[in-house]
Amino acid sequence: MNKLVIFGVGLIGGSVALALKQAKAVGQVVGVGRSLDNLQTAIDLGVIDEAQSDVSLAVKNADLILIATPVAQTPKILEAIIPHLSEKTVITDAGSTKSDIAEYVEHAAKQAKNPAQVLSQFVGGHPIAGAEKSGVSAAKNDLFLGKNVVLTPNTATSPAALKLVRELWLATGANVSEMTASNHDQIFAAVSHLPHLLAFALVDDLASRDNAKQLFDFAASGFRDFTRIAGSSPEMWRDISIANRHALLSEIEAFQKELLLLKVLVETKDEQGLQALFERASHARQQWGKSQELCSKTVKS
């Protein structure tokens, strides 16, 4: 790949650039973003080769455009890109929700001279990776090593576009899989989006109480582990919650039923019922932990 353009040069976008450079899988990396200071930092760190504020100049002769901004910014970026899109340029994204992105692309494509061509050039993507710190300064070339990346091509996506995006992520060391946008959103509503909402809700509840200071003074490792993700970006999780609201509401309702079951078991002092539930959950968690350890060992070897 000769030219990669990244909209949103933060942790994810920056780490993609560094990984591809290390793998010698890209020639030139151009960064586009809202903060000139951030783009200058990206240049200073060797993450990007050039910063551009003019979209038409940025995407000219690009092989691939990666949108790595918060999901809510995607529609405006697509609208800005499409009028300047060449036939050879592929577009992908790194958003945590996919059905809404697919809708954005369909809407934006209608404004193009050749809507079918635009649809064929887009490949949705979601890298399952992150870090405690955000921003381009936190970017690293091994962020995606051994991590999962889900691609959600639409029915019109060209094989060539899908191949290019798949090769991009494979070059970063990621494991790449494919699924529909709706299936992706259902899965991640359950295993990512709901857990984040629960962490935010618990911390918000305790922080609003009159004895909040005392509660937090005595909070220990269990509370820390459970609520770590409540320190994530409020802007990002606001956007994700709204974008994936249909799947997320379904998961909230399912979890409410589980909480109600727990409430009944506690109220009725049902020792056997509580132990059975805890044993099922403990076994499932241990099995998942073992599979994660196996994957980690495989990557290291």
Strands (E), 154-266: 175-178
Residues of the chain with confidence (pLDDT) below 50: none
Residue 88 and residue 199 in one domain: no
- Distance, CA of 46 to CA of 11 (rounded, Å): 14
Q: Within this chain, do residues 208 and 255 fall inside the same structural domain, yes or no?
A: yes
Note the pLDDT of residue 104.
93
238 within a domain of the structure (yes/no): yes
Q: Are residues 171 and 188 in the same domain?
A: no
In single-letter form, the type of residue at position 280 comes to R
Q: What pLDDT is attached to residue 294?
A: 75
How does DSSP classify residue 255? H
Same domain, 54 and 83: yes
Looking at the structure, tell me whether residues 154 and 16 fall in a common domain.
Answer: yes
Asked whether residue 161 is domain-assigned, the answer is: yes
Q: What is the pTM of this model?
A: 0.90
Q: Looking at residue 74, which CATH number applies to its domain?
A: 3.40.50.720
Q: What is the CATH number of the domain that holds 222?
A: 1.10.3660.10
In degrees rounded to 5, what are phi and psi of residue 64?
-145, 140
Domain final residue pick, 117, 152, 179: 179
pLDDT of residue 34: 82
State the pLDDT at residue 26. Answer: 97
The reply to whether 7 falls in a domain is yes
**Two structure tokens written together for 277:** 């539930």
Q: Is 297 within a domain?
A: no
In a domain, 279, yes or no: no
Residues 12 and 120 in one domain: yes
pLDDT digit string (tens) for 223-274?
999 999 999 889 889 999 999 999 999 999 999 999 999 999 999 999 999 9
Split into its structural domains, the chain has a count of: 2
pLDDT computed for residue 215 by the predictor: 98
Rounded Cα–Cα distance for residues 97 and 111 (Å): 23
Distance CA 256, CA 278 (A): 17
Strand ranges (E), 34-119:
50-51, 64-67, 90-93
Check whether residue 48 and residue 86 sit in a common domain: yes
Residue 298 belongs to some domain of the structure: no
Identify residue 101 by its one-letter amino acid code: I
Tokens of 219: 């909070």
Give the pLDDT confidence of 112-128 residue by residue, as tens digits. Answer: 889 999 999 999 999 99
Token pair 């691609």 is found at: 151
Contact 74, 101 (CB under 8 A): yes
The CA-based angle 108-4-235, given to 5 degrees, is: 60
- Same domain for 47 and 158, yes or no, is yes
Range of the domain at 239: 184-268
Are residue 86 and residue 210 in the same domain, yes or no? no
Q: Is 95 found in the same domain as 166?
A: yes
Assigned domain for 280 exists:
no
**Domain assignment of residue 77, yes or no:** yes
138 and 264 fall within a common domain: no
Report the run of H or E that residue 31 belongs to, with start and end. Answer: strand 28-32
Closest CA to 150 of 169, 176, 183, 170: 176
Q: Are residues 19 and 154 in the same domain?
A: yes
